[in-house]
Amino acid sequence: MAKKRKSKPEPGQSKKEARRQQAEANKKAAKAKILIALGSAVILIALLWAIFDNTATQQEWDVDEDGIMSYPTDRGIPEYDSMIVEDSGYYFDHINYSSRDAVISALLRIPNSSHPVPGILILPGATVSKEGEQGLSAELADMGYASMVIDQRNLGRVDFQLDGRLFQAGQETTQHKMVFDALKAVDVMRQYPAVDPDNITIIGISNGGRFAIIAAAIDPSINGVVGISTSGYDVESFIANDSNQVTENQTRFLRSIDPDTYLDRLPPRKLVMMHMINDSIIPLELALVTYEKAGGPKVFYPVEGSSHGYNAAMRDVLEAELGLMFS
């Protein structure tokens, strides 16, 4: 242990005066130690606060007893990196952003403008990449809108059995994470000054339309949703027909992934649906079931043809509806 050094009287200084000065020095040293200790405590508390605050603000996933999935509307500042890959009449950015346990890739296209423009998130159908929807993205740029297309997890493919087992084990399912991916994409778009953060909507195509409806329904900051060649699953009919074989937990899971479950959470925001009359993948009748379940405001556009997905024949009504949605 270090020994305390006794101060010696300065020349001409009495021992009493030296002891007094030593006592004052000891007091100052003690105060300094207290301040250092307090400072360390404050720093420690700040670090603990940051850790626990970060934990508290982690995007908590929940599905209530009615099968309604939820995530916080405040999802924190998004983490992403970007690289400009083209600049010809518009700003074209390749983005990778963090979402739950994955990194999602996206392409953001912003038309040249002297003011912020509305933004549109595009969720492609199953097996369709972000590159596969650049035709629609270019059309939206011509209309004066920014658009961001993402690569959905597993390119939008879903595994109902695996997700059912995950849900049964109390774990977040892939389909739920895909909804969160969409919400996080909206957060990323809002980081760009050229995009109007108060004017963002979602266009979902085929299976992407299901995630689009759910994401828009649970986040009231999203202006509305456009579903193209999409529908709900009408799980209520399935549950009613097999009520003796479907458990309570299975019912919660099925409802949580069905956009029909969330339709009453959309108003006063608008639901727009467009569908080929002879759609080759999702029957028009199933899309109409979802549409009939929705409250207003809503509009349904049947389009002549038998293809699946966005079609040039939809452009005029799409442009008109987006204009109303952003007005």
pLDDT in tens, 141-160: 999 999 999 999 999 899 99
> What distance in Å separates the CA atoms of residue 133 and residue 138, rounded to the nearest whole number?
9
- H-helix segments, 57-152: 134-142
> What distance in Å separates the CA atoms of residue 322 and residue 25, rounded to the nearest whole number?
75
Residue 279 has pLDDT above 50, yes or no: yes
Q: Is residue 62 part of a domain?
A: no
> What distance in Å separates the CA atoms of residue 240 and residue 275, rounded to the nearest whole number?
27
Secondary structure of residue 308 in the 3-state scheme: coil
> What distance in Å separates the CA atoms of residue 97 and residue 73, rounded to the nearest whole number?
18
Q: Is residue 186 part of a domain?
A: yes
Q: Is residue 89 part of a domain?
A: yes
Q: Are residues 173 and 44 in the same domain?
A: no
Q: Is residue 4 part of a domain?
A: no
Q: Per the structure, how many domains does the chain have?
A: 2
Q: Is residue 100 part of a domain?
A: yes
List, in order, residues 6 or more apart from 288 with CB less than 8 Å away: 300
Residue 13 has pLDDT above 80, yes or no: no
Q: Are residues 138 and 249 in the same domain?
A: yes
Q: Are residues 228 and 191 in the same domain?
A: yes
Q: Are residues 301 and 154 in the same domain?
A: yes
What was the pLDDT predicted at 89?
Answer: 82
Q: Are residues 260 and 204 in the same domain?
A: yes
CA angle 169, 170, 172 (to 5 degrees): 110
- CA Rg value for the chain: 29
Q: Are residues 47 and 82 in the same domain?
A: no
Average pLDDT over all residues of the chain = 87
What was the pLDDT predicted at 88?
Answer: 76
With CA atoms as reference, report the closest residue to 196 among 111, 130, 136, 139: 111
Q: Are residues 162 and 38 in the same domain?
A: no
Residue 49 has pLDDT above 70, yes or no: no
List, in order, residues 6 or more apart from 21 with CB less than 8 Å away: 7
Residue 137 has pLDDT above 90, yes or no: yes
What was the pLDDT predicted at 43?
Answer: 40
Q: Are residues 33 and 120 in the same domain?
A: no
Least confident residue range of 21-25, 188-192, 286-290: 21-25
* Percentage of residues of the chain with pLDDT beyond 70: 81
Q: What is the pTM of this model?
A: 0.81
Count of residues in the chain: 327
Band of residue 242 on the pLDDT scale cut at 50, 70, 90: confident
Q: Is residue 259 part of a domain?
A: yes
Least confident residue range of 78-92, 115-129, 195-209, 210-224: 78-92
Q: Are residues 86 and 46 in the same domain?
A: no
Q: Is residue 5 part of a domain?
A: no
Q: What tokens were used for 321?
A: 């509806």
Residue 54 has pLDDT above 80, yes or no: no
Q: Are residues 136 and 275 in the same domain?
A: yes
Residue 8 carries which side chain, given as an amino acid letter? Answer: K
For the chain, report the end-to-end CA distance as a whole number of angstroms: 77
Q: Give me the CATH number covering residue 279.
A: 3.40.50.1820
What was the pLDDT predicted at 85?
Answer: 77
- Domain with 33, as residue range(s), is 13-56
Quick one: CA dihedral 122, 127, 129, 133, positive or negative? negative
Residue 182 has pLDDT above 70, yes or no: yes
Q: Are residues 253 and 109 in the same domain?
A: yes
Q: What tokens were used for 18?
A: 């030296």
Beta carbons of 175 and 257 less than 8 angstroms apart: yes
List of long-range contacts for 69-74, beta carbons under 8 Å, 24+ apart: 69/176, 69/179, 69/214, 69/218, 69/256, 70/218, 71/179, 71/180, 71/183, 71/218, 73/219, 73/220, 73/221
Q: Is residue 50 part of a domain?
A: yes
What was the pLDDT predicted at 133?
Answer: 97
Q: Are residues 123 and 32 in the same domain?
A: no
- Residue of 17 and 2 predicted with greater confidence: 17
Taking phi first (over 0 means left), then psi (-120 to 50 degrees means alpha), and beta for anything else, what does residue 49 get?
A: alpha
